Amino acid sequence: MKVNDIMTRLEAKHPGESEYLQAVREVLISIEDVYNQHPEFEKAGIIERIVEPDRIFTFRVPWVDDNGKVQVNIGYRVQFNGAIGPYKGGIRFHPSVTLSSLKFLGFEQTFKNALTTLPMGGAKGGSDFAPKGRSQAEIMRFCQAFVVELWRNIGPDTDVPAGDIGVGGREVGYMFGMYKKLAREHTGTFTGKGLTFGGSRLRPEATGFGALYFVQKMCDEYHIMLRGKTVAVSGFGNVAWGAVTKATELGAKVVAISGPDGYIYDEDGINTPEKIAFMLELRNSGNDVVAPYADKFPRSRFFPGKKPWECKVDIALPCAIQNELNLEDAKTLKKNGVILVAEVSNMGCTSDAVDFFIENEMLFAPGKAVNAGGVACSGLEMTQNAMHISWSNEEVDKWLHQIMNDIHEQCVAHGRNDEYINYVKGANIAGFMKVADAMMAQGIV
Ligand code: 2IT
């Protein structure tokens, strides 16, 4: 395999799909050497097959807004790779959603899910629908219209969607309600459900908690004390909230969170139940701004239009959206002496930022390893639904912890080069080998 040749062909086939091409290139570069040690992969066209989704559904989502006006959005479900289990992955509602972004997310999800040790294939879906400023009734009608089209292509052993940006417990509830009505079955076809109808304990916390378990393992590996370290987080949604909660519990001090409007710096730490709960209030307001935090807690400051990466901290955790940390930010972090960067968002860093971290042998781990706790907990929800039981907080947390440790171990096993662990390489190789193995065993399909 020659990465450049493959990329040239893919760019010609899918022009302008920049995020998808970025994600594919990153994985191919990591796996090039191992791949070339397996001539049977080349013979079976593994690369040519693994970079293309199994199938894609695209559909119109018409709905009526509160003023009686007809609105039309586009809906998608990208079933990327079903080699190791039923398709699994979130639904994103955000104006930036395009086929390219969902293809990148589905591709990443395939390897992430492989890392979780659970049998789940990769998928992603969503719409360019913008929930910001929409009423509860509008959100419900949109979710229902989305599922009216999607429902025939999903099922507990076929494809199991969940939440992502713009889709939380409320939206999953509405989508599940319509699914159940159309399919006439109450099964685990969605994860991230409410606790009263088959949801798993800890699912809302799992992405952020899992990320911090992973960060803890990175620290242990390098004999760094997490306790007492300062942390900058981007975002203020569900994932950021889980990360802030667990970071605080583990003795670190989170001093920054952010929104599309700018960032908050709170020197005292975002570390009291009141402050952490306020993040949820901000999110539930539906306004997509963090500025009100500074009004509520006057010792903190709001920096409009800025990113939190300019803060002098020990640890940086991008928790918002893809490509939110660029090369310039990476250089600022290094200059400020940051010791660890862990992507909690999917592909949170641009390619040149990732290259910069690795060339400078900085401690860096990619989203598909760090944030896998979310989908892992979804996998546990599927198991509980299939068994018609529900596990306690302690049981789920124990699994989550074990899975994150296991992912860390896989990264180290495939990414260690003398003293330095290249977590990007480790995660990509471990995830790829599992999926490739399964594809080899199942013939050319
Ligand atoms: O990016 C992700 O892993 C998610 N949005 C969670 C997917 C899931 O199926 O729980």
pLDDT computed for residue 5 by the predictor: 95
Summarised one tens digit per residue, pLDDT across range 363-387 is 999 999 999 999 999 999 999 999 9
Say if residue 309's pLDDT is above 90. yes
How sure is the predictor about 1, in pLDDT bands with cuts at 50, 70 and 90? confident
Of 378, 381, 383, 385, the residue with max ligand 1 atoms within 8 A of its CB, to mutate for a pocket test, comes to 378
188 lines ligand 1 (CB under 6 A): no
Identify the CATH class of 205-365.
alpha beta
The CATH homologous superfamily to which domain 3-186 belongs is: Leucine Dehydrogenase, chain A, domain 1 (3.40.50.10860)
pLDDT at 417: 93
Q: Which residue has the tokens 């916390």?
A: 205
How is 167-185 classified by DSSP, letter by letter? B-HHHHHHHHHHHHHHHT-
Pocket test for ligand 1, best of 171, 344, 371, 381 (most atoms within 8 A of CB): 371
Q: Is 198 in the pocket of ligand 1 (CB under 6 A)?
A: no
* Closest to 415 (Cα-Cα) out of 272, 279, 136, 221: 221
Q: What contacts 24+ positions apart, CB below 8 Å, involve 353-362?
A: 353/325, 353/326, 353/327, 353/329, 354/26, 354/424, 356/327, 356/330, 356/331, 357/330, 358/422, 358/424, 360/334, 361/420, 362/334, 362/338
Query: Atom 3 of ligand 1 has which residue's CA nearest to it?
Result: 375
Q: Quick check: 432 and 411 in contact, CB under 8 A?
A: no
User: Across the chain, what does the average pLDDT equal?
Assistant: 98
Shortest-distance atom of ligand 1 to CA 346: 1
Q: Is 278 helix (H, G, I), strand (E, B) or coil?
A: helix
Give 330-373 pLDDT, tens digit per residue: 999 999 999 999 999 999 999 999 999 999 999 999 999 999 99
3-class secondary structure, 190: coil
| Cα–chain center distance at 177 | 24
Q: Catalytic annotation on 124?
A: yes
Q: Please answer whether residues 193 and 170 qualify as being in contact, where contact means their C-beta atoms are separated by less than 8 angstroms.
A: no
How much is the pLDDT for 147? Answer: 98
Please pick, among 103, 124, 217, 434, the residue that the annotation labels catalytic.
124
Rounded CA gap, 420 and 147, in Å? 46
Instruction: Convert the pLDDT of each residue in 313-327 to its tens digit.
Output: 999 999 999 999 999
Please state the rounded mean pLDDT for residues 65-73: 98
Q: What is the mean pLDDT of residues 56-61?
A: 98
Instruction: Establish whether domains 3-186 and 205-365 are of one fold.
Output: yes
- pLDDT at residue number 217: 98
- Domain limits of the chain? 3-186, 205-365
Where residue 30 falls among pLDDT bands split at 50, 70, 90?
Answer: very high
Is the backbone of residue 137 left (phi > 0), alpha (psi -120 to 50) or beta?
Answer: alpha
Ligand 1 pocket check for 88: Cβ under 6 Å:
yes
Calpha distance 416→421 (Å, rounded): 4
pLDDT at 421 over 90: yes
